[in-house]
Structure 1
C-alpha cells in the first residue's frame, strides 16, 4: 500500500500534470476509471501502471482484470496519495500512467483518409479535447495538431476526450504547410472554418468529397497566412442572437455535417 503523499514515487507521478515533465518522460496521466478503462481496452501496450484505492478496485473489477491481462502493475494507495497525484479534485479512486503514442504524419496520410481535423493554434484544453472527441464520434480518420496548439496529453485535454484519445490517431507538432501539402496529395480538399468565409449551406454539397477541416485559435481564428493555405473557407450561419459559436461546438457541427454528406454519397 502506497501511503505517503510526499514519497518520490508519488511526486514523480504528480509532476506529469506539468508539460515539462511529460516532455522529459514521454508519459502522461489518466485520471478516473473511464480513462483507465479506455486505455486498457484500446491501447493496453501504452499503460505503465495503475494506482487505485482498495475500494475503487472493488467497484471497478473490470479495470483490475484488464490490467492483469495486460501485465500492468496495480499499486494500491490511500485517498490522500491519489489526491496528491491527480490534477482533478476528485480522481474517483484511480490514476494511471501511460506512454504517449502520437501518430506519425506519414502514417495518417498513408491510410487514405477521407475526413480529418487540423487544429492550428487551438489553445484551450477543453476545446481541443472536445474536438478530438467529436472527430472520433463523427468517424474522422485523424486529428492533426499544428502551430502552438495545446499539448494533447495535458490532463484537461485527456479528460475532455473521455477516452477518444485512444480511438483516433492524433499527430502532433506538425507544420501547417506540410500538412496541407500532404492532404492535397492524397485528394483532400482543405476547408477552413472562418467567420468571414462563404455560406456553409451554399457549399455543403462539396463536403461529400474527402475533406480536411482547418480550425484556428479560439480568440483570433486563423491568421491570414494560414487561411490562405485553405482551398475554401466556410462560416456556419447564426440564426439566433449569439455573437458566435464556441470553437469546439462549431468544429463538431462541421465534422458531423461532413460525415453525414460523405455517408449519404457512399
Structure 2
C-alpha cells in the first residue's frame, strides 16, 4: 500500500513535511506498539523517524513512498536490540484487557522481530510479498518463509486465527485502529530535529578540533630522531661484564709476572736501542 505523496509544486518543504507527519505519524505509533508492546518506545521510535526524515528531506521528498520511508526507519529503531539495555524499555507494558487483543499481541511478541515485522506488513498493512521483502531487506522466498512461520505460531497460540483470512482481518483491523497516543505537533518535531542536528554538528567540530590540537602538540613535542635506550649491564654466568679490566686468573698473573721479569729475551733485532 503506497501512500499518496503530500508534496507538490505549491508545497514548501515545511508544509510537505507537516502533511506527511499528520498523515503517517498517528498510525505509525500504533503499528510500532504492535511490534514492541511498549507505548513509550513506539512514540520515541516515530519521533526519531521523523527527525531523521526532516534531516534527509530532499531524499524523502522524492521517494515514491515517503510514508514507507518513514515507516521503515521507525520499525528499525523500535526493533533495535539495544533498547533491552535501557531500564525504561526492558519490559513490555501491561497487556490489553480485552482477551482477543491480548492473545494476539502476546503471540506477536513471541515471534522473532523479523517475523513479527513481516506478518504486520503483509497481513496487517496489506503490502504485497515483494514490497514486504524489500522493506525487511530479505529475499522474496525468505519473506514468504517468515510469513508462513509467523502464521503457524499465531495459529497455535490463537486457534481462531489459524486461517490466513481470519488473521488478515483481525490484524488489519487492529493495525488500522485510531491511535490514542498524544504526539507533538509537526513544527515541534522539525524544531527538535534541527536542534539535534546542530548539536551533533557542534560535537563533531569540537572532536575534530581536539584531534587536530592533540596531533599538533604531539608533532611539536615528539623527538626528531630515534634515541636508543641502553639497558644497564647485567652479570651473565660465564661472561664478564663489559667495562673495566677483566679479573685475572692465577694463570694470567703467573704469565704476567714472567713477562715482566724477562722483558728482553728474544732476537736482538727486537731489542730497542737505548742510544
What range describes the TM-score normalised by the shorter chain of this pair?
under 0.3
Instruction: Report which of the two has the higher share of helix.
Output: 2
TM-score normalised over the length of structure 2: 0.24
**Bigger radius of gyration:** 2
Instruction: Report which of the two has the higher share of strand.
Output: 1
